[in-house]
Each structure stands twice: as structure tokens, then as C-alpha cells.
Chain A
Amino acid sequence: MSHHIVAVQSLDYCYPDGRHALQCVNFTLHHGEAAAIIGANGAGKSTLLRHLIGTLAPTSGSVRIGDDPVLPSTLKQVRRTVGMVFQDADDQLFMPTVYEDVAFGPINQGLPPAEVEKRVKNALFTVGCEHLRDRPPYRLSGGEKRAVAIATVLAMSPNILVMDEPTANLDARARRHCIRLLQGFTHTRIIATHDLDLVLDVCTRVIVLHEGQIVADGSTMEIFRDKKLLDRYHLEQPLRMQGCPVCSPSSEPCQQQSASDKHSHARRP
């Protein structure tokens, strides 16, 4: 079996306060697949991701990464295979300099210094942050922090990338840079996000979570075209699918719009 496969079977999780966060979650992701996990706040997205990296253990059911079930005894192998990018990059960047942060994972993997150097160089090159290698992480901008956080994971050469809100708190340019990066990866990708335009650009599959249960699982376009489904689960179509606010008949009429006002729809590159 490939190490790139993620199989979640009948996953249930109850928090110690009795809140049922996940109920009978089932899905399988294949090699190279990019899947988005979407849902309203509190739907269980982050809880699900934490099961994939073994920081939470299921109340019942199982998670398999490739051949290995996620168990305390297999955590080392699982974390070698799955790289997780946290929602807040500050949680992920804890070393004094960017170089040391990116080298942290490879050093813990026991790699020789020359290989560590190579991995750090490649990872920073991939995210376009070579010039930041000697900077302290707390001096970086939000976009730079995010890119370096991705580099820290890439340096460990994972087969599967798990990301929690990768574009949260980024400005437009940093967000676009992050999306381009994600598009360029060939890893199996699992992205929990509220940024549905990002999903449109990066993911081929969408899993909709609601109150800890999977309520829809299908191709991105199939899910996003179903307005009723999205509405039922407190979601909206991506902005790009909602039509132009000026000329779309479904949009609110523009009070101050004069007939002579012109606008054009720029074609996306």
C-alpha cells in the first residue's frame, strides 16, 4: 500500500467535557489527491485534522496513514509521513532563526548535517524564502511566517500535507502566493479552510462537515454548485461563483450606479 493514502473509518471523538466532536466519520484519500474539509465554525474540522497527526486519539474507529494505523506506537512513522501546517504560524515557529526552525524536523529525524543543510535549502527555495534564513521568526510578516511554516514541514519530506486554514490572516498577495505554492505540490493534501476560493483553486474534492458528521463528499464543482446544500450547512458559494455584484441579476441593485458606468470582467491569468 502507498504511504500517501489516508483512510478514516468510523471515527468518533468525544471531548472530556462530553461534547461529541466527531461522529462516524468515513473517507479515504488517495495518492496526490487534494481534498478540502469545509464546514461552519465548530463543525469538527480541526479536531479531525488532529486525529490525522495523532495528537488526539479516537474514542472509537480508526485512522490509517498508508500501512500504519495511527497509534502511540506508530506515531513516529506517521509524523514522518504527515506534515501539518498549523493555523497560527507562531505556534509552529519556535526556534531562534528561520534556518534552525526549518532544520528542526530533519535534525530530529537523525539526518546527517549535510543532508539537513540540503533539505533546509530546498525547502526555503520552494517557498521563496531563502533570503530569510538568518532572520528570527518573530520579525517576519504574516505571509513570510506562513511560507516559512510550510517550509518547516516540507523539509521533513512528508508524503501527506495537512493544513489548517493556510490562508487565514493573509493579505491578498500573500494569500495568492500561498495558493500558488499549494497548487505546485504533488503531495496528498488535506486542507481545512473557510476560504472557498482557495478550495476552488487547489482542491479536486470537498468534504463537508456539520456537527461532527460528514454531510457531503464529492468533487469540488459538484458541491459548490449545490447552493441549497451549502446554505443548509452555513456555507456560501466561493465569491468567484457568485457572479458580478454589478451586472448579476441575483445581486442587490446598485443605488448609485449610473447607466454610463462601465466595468469589465478581467480574465484571470
Chain B
Amino acid sequence: MNEKRDRMYAVDEFDRLAAGNSPLHRYDPRAKLLVVLFAAGIAASYSRYAVAEIVPLLLLPIVWLSLSKVPLRFVLGKLLLALPFVFFMAIFNPIFDRAPVMDFGVLSVSGGWLSFTSIMLRFLLSISLIILLVACTGFNTLCATLLRLHIPKIFVVQLLLLYRYIFLLADEVQRVRQAYSLRALGDRSIALPVVGSLLGQLLLRVMDRGQRIHQAMLCRGFVGILSVRRDFHWCKRDTWFLLGWTLWLVLARTVNITDQLGHFLLKGLT
């Protein structure tokens, strides 16, 4: 049951991968985090119909993936987990925005489908980068990095505690589910009228535990600060890493690389 729970939350795999040793693991977490944030910012800055312009940015996760020794299957699995949230947000675009903006002979593409593709590409870029970042840095080190970068402590504390207690939350969910299924005589789905009371139970248990943890923290002199001990060593290669990827992102933003490449290829062919 534990294995099933671990698979469900994938935290275990992230921890295992973070303990690895690859070129990407060895870069300073601050450099990696800044590149990810900058890439997400650049991706968000494109117009809603931008598709071809965003494609060159995908070089970043592809290179990181090859540097990191993280299995492609793992990244794709996690992307699939997050996909429904973005998909159902983006799928409304083709419904509401039906005006054709592109013609390929007999085929015309509406603005909605273009913006849908654009959102999916941005999702692919940013989420795959975050997955690789956590897998090659470790969640706790990442939180320490956030503190170093002066992100408000209250947010970092929330993240740390969420990560620490996700196992116990999974356990609580599992126990409630098991107790239900044992008396529901093998019925796998939870009946709608019971869902409310189960969720209520879960909420009360979580609140109870939260209170106990807070008491334990107060007993040890907690005054709102969790100090996470991590030593960072910024070296020259971290500067090059940050500078190189920043330049690439700026270049991809200012020059339409796909367009240029297309022209170049067409010229070569003719």
C-alpha cells in the first residue's frame, strides 16, 4: 500500500532523483531557479497566438533533460498528471474564438486553436522545466534557495510543511478510503452523499494534526522562522550557465528563430 501511495504522490521519485549526480545536479540551485523563472517570464510575454516563436524555447528543457539523466518517461508521466488542469482551461479558446487567422490552402485555422496550441506549448516548457528543476535539486534545497533569494519566509514555510506532511495526508486519505471500501462491499467509487462527510472528516483530522504540530513547534521555541541549513557555492560555471541560458532566451524572444530557419532552409532548397 505504501508503494502505491508513493507512486501516487511521486515525492519518493523526486527525492531519489535529487540524490543523483549529473552535470545539471552540480549547478548551483540559484542559477537553475533563476533560469526557470526567466524562461517562464519570457514564455508568458508572447502574444496569445504565438506558436512558432515559442518552439525554440523548448531547446532549454531538451538540453536539461539530456544533461540531467532524468528518464524521459518520468518527465512525461508528471506532465500527464498536470495536463488535465491546463487542457480544460485552454480547450475553451477554440470554442469562443472561432475567427480564422491562418490559411493553409483549403484549411483555415481559427485563433482559438492557435491560442490553445500556444498555451499547451507554454505549459510544456514551464512544467517540464519545473519537474527537471525539482528532480535535480531536491525540494528542500529548492526551499532553501527560495529563502536565499528573499522569497517571504511564510510562503517557504508553507511549502516545506506541505512537502513534509504530504505522506501523512496520503495516509489519512488511504485510511478513510479503506475504511469506506471495507464496508461498501468492494464498491470502488465513493457514493456522492458520502463524499461530503468523508471530506469533512479529512478536514477535521488535518486541522487537528495541524494544531498538534503547531503546539510541538511552540514547545521548541518556534517564532515563525524555520531555518533550513544548506550551503551554496556559486562558482564560475554557474555564472556561465545563467548567462548562457539568459542570452539564449533573450535571443529567442527578440529574433524569430523559426522564421529565420525556415527562410534559410527555403533559400538553401531553391
Point out residues on A near B: beta carbons under 8 Å: 50, 53, 55, 76, 79-80, 83-84, 86, 88, 90-92, 94-97, 99-100, 103-105, 107-109, 136-138, 152-153, 156
Contact = CB atoms under 8 A, between A and B. Distances in A.
Listed residue (B161, B216, B218, B226) with the most chain A CB atoms within 10 angstroms of its CB = B216
Nearest to B220: A105
**3 shortest interchain CB distances as A-B pairs:** A108-B221, A96-B140, A105-B220
Secondary structure of the B contact surface, majority rule: helix
B164 A79 contact: no
Contact of B215 (A55, A100, A109): A55
Contact of A108 (B140, B164, B220): B220
B216 A108 contact: no
Interface string B212-243: 11011111111101111100000000000000
A182 to B, nearest CB: 19
Nearest to A104: B220
A165 to B, nearest CB: 13
A138 B169 CA distance: 12
B216 A94 contact: yes
Interface in B163-221: 163-165, 167-168, 209, 212-213, 215-221
Given A91-B212, A96-B160, A55 B168 contact: no
A79 B220 contact: yes
A109 B228 contact: no
Given A91-B209, A96-B140, A107-B227, A84 B221 contact: no
A129 B205 CA distance: 30
Contact of A99 (B143, B164, B222, B229): B229
B164 A96 contact: yes
A56 to B, nearest CB: 10
B232 to A, nearest CB: 16
Given A97-B140, A99-B229, A138-B167, A105 B221 contact: yes
Contacts of B229: 99-100, 103
Contacts of B165: 94
A79 B140 contact: no
Interface string B87-109: 00000000000000000000000
A231 to B, nearest CB: 33
B15 A136 contact: yes
Nearest to A110: B221
A156 B218 CA distance: 13
A79 B218 contact: yes
B199 to A, nearest CB: 22
Given A76-B221, A91-B209, 17 more contacts: A55-B219, A83-B219, A84-B219, A91-B213, A94-B165, A94-B217, A96-B143, A96-B164, A96-B228, A97-B140, A104-B226, A108-B220, A108-B221, A136-B15, A137-B164, A138-B167, A138-B168
Nearest to A56: B215
A94 B223 contact: no
A104 to B, nearest CB: 6
Contact of B168 (A53, A90, A96, A97): A90
B124 to A, nearest CB: 30
Contacts of B225: 108
